[in-house]
Copies of this chain bind each other. A is one copy, B any other.
């Protein structure tokens, strides 16, 4: 079955990271529909691994109304390769330089309304480096967790960032 045919795009505006619009499309089923399509530059997310431990950061997320435990992640800069973005965000947010980086796939965060695609990585042999956070990022903690602690966080509902749960599923598969 082929892809949708896009007849037109109605542009609603731009935010800092998103190009907001709707598209008038014919779906592969032949049905015509108007769909939300928020264009995003893409992102990278990287989970530092060390034997039976992983690193998570504690970040304030205004949209979530509080702090979340997350794997380090960030938006691709113009022309930036996802590998480079992962290495950059790992230093900036967690203060870690990856000795070795392994790509484990990607996720779409909300494919019903945005093309945001996050490339997922595991980082090994990490060494400390100075953090370099954006002024409007609020990260209060960088911590190594044993897998048993991660499982407990998930079970208690204290780990509820979708990209982080996704990269943890990959990490469990390969550890």
Contacts and interface: CB of A to CB of B under 8 A. Distances in A.
Contact of A1 (B112, B140, B160): B140
Contacts of A113: 15, 17-18, 63
What is the interface of chain A mostly: helix, strand, loop, or mixed? mixed
A119 to B, nearest CB: 10
Given A17-B112, A62-B23, A161-B108, A154 B135 contact: no
Given A107-B165, A111-B61, A136-B31, A36 B16 contact: yes
Interface of A: 1, 3-4, 12-13, 15-18, 20, 22-23, 25, 27-29, 31, 33-38, 60-68, 75, 105-118, 135-136, 138, 140, 151, 154-155, 157, 160-163, 165-166, 168-170, 172-173
